[in-house]
């Protein structure tokens, strides 16, 4: 499996796989989109190191800028898809009404966006399923798309940039081994745990977020 993933990162198809995974994980948070981004960035760092070492046949690797743009763009498009689905109401409205977590997120997000506190959208992008909750809540609350979209774009760029940087610099510092990728993935999960903690804080404490 690792060999197959390694060969995939040297193919242009890695961009399509990353984009599809990031696009869909707003509906299926179990998809390993962050791990894919980190692995692709690690492959780019390994390829660069091989070129610098004068390897006779250096391995091909993804372009970091294209990788970042694919991940960030797919993140925003996924957010917008969830927003549009939720804004149409119907079954989703009833599902939100039955879920204390979604109802609380909907109310809190509405207040945060109304007060210019859309940084909540950025923080939620790093939390497990936080992106899903925020995008659906924003759509269900009928928040203006012009208010939500800039924060979604900032969240997508921040998350994609962080993930790419983890994979690239983790491999540079720890070498072109799976250890570098593993440490980078742990760092991504640590950021997710911190974001989840910030989102769970009492409303008064979280006002500054």
In the three-class reduction of DSSP (H, G, I as helix; E, B as strand; rest coil), residue 97 is classed as helix
Q: For the chain, what is the domain count?
A: 1
Q: Which helix (H) or strand (E) holds 8?
A: helix 2-9
Q: What is the pLDDT of residue 139?
A: 81
Average pLDDT score over residue span 190-208: 68
Q: How many Å apart are CA 12 and CA 66, to the nearest integer?
A: 10
pLDDT, residue 100, reads: 66
The confidence score (pLDDT) of residue 105 equals 61
Rama region for 94: left / alpha / beta (φ>0; ψ in -120 to 50; rest): alpha
The mean predicted confidence, pLDDT, of the chain is 78
What pLDDT shows up at residue 54? 47
138-191: pLDDT as tens digits = 887 777 788 889 999 999 999 999 999 999 998 888 776 677 778 888 999 999
- Tokens of residue 122, six digits: 């950025």
Check: CB of residue 124 under 8 Å from CB of residue 134. Answer: yes
Per-residue pLDDT at 208: 42
* Structural domain boundaries, residue 89: 2-206
Q: How many helices (H) and strands (E) does the chain have?
A: 11, 0
Q: pLDDT by residue (tens digit) across 88-123?
A: 765 555 665 666 666 666 666 656 665 556 788 898
Query: In the prediction, which pLDDT does 102 show?
Result: 61
Least confident of 15-19, 25-29, 77-81: 25-29
Half-sphere exposure of 110 (CA within 13 A, CB side): 13
């Amino acid at each position: 499996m690792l060999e197959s993933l390694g060969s995939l990162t040297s193919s242009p198809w890695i961009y399509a796989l990353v984009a599809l995974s990031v696009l869909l994980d707003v509906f299926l948070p179990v998809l390993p989109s962050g791990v894919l981004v980190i692995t692709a960035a690690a492959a780019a760092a390994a390829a660069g190191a091989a070129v610098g070492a004068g390897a006779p046949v250096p391995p091909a690797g993804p372009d970091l800028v294209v990788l970042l743009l694919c991940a960030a763009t797919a993140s925003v498009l996924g957010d917008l898809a969830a927003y549009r689905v939720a804004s149409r109401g119907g079954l989703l409205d009833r599902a939100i009404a039955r879920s204390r977590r979604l109802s609380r997120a909907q109310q809190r997000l509405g207040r945060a966006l109304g007060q210019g506190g859309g940084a909540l959208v950025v923080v939620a992008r790093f939390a497990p399923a936080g992106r899903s909750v925020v995008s659906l809540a924003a759509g269900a609350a009928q928040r203006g798309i012009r208010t939500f979209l800039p924060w979604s774009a900032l969240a997508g760029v921040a998350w994609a940039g962080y993930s790419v940087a983890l994979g690239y610099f983790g491999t540079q510092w720890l070498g072109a081994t799976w250890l570098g990728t593993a440490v980078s993935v742990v760092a991504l999960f640590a950021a997710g745990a911190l974001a989840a903690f910030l989102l769970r804080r009492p409303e008064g404490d979280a006002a500054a977020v």
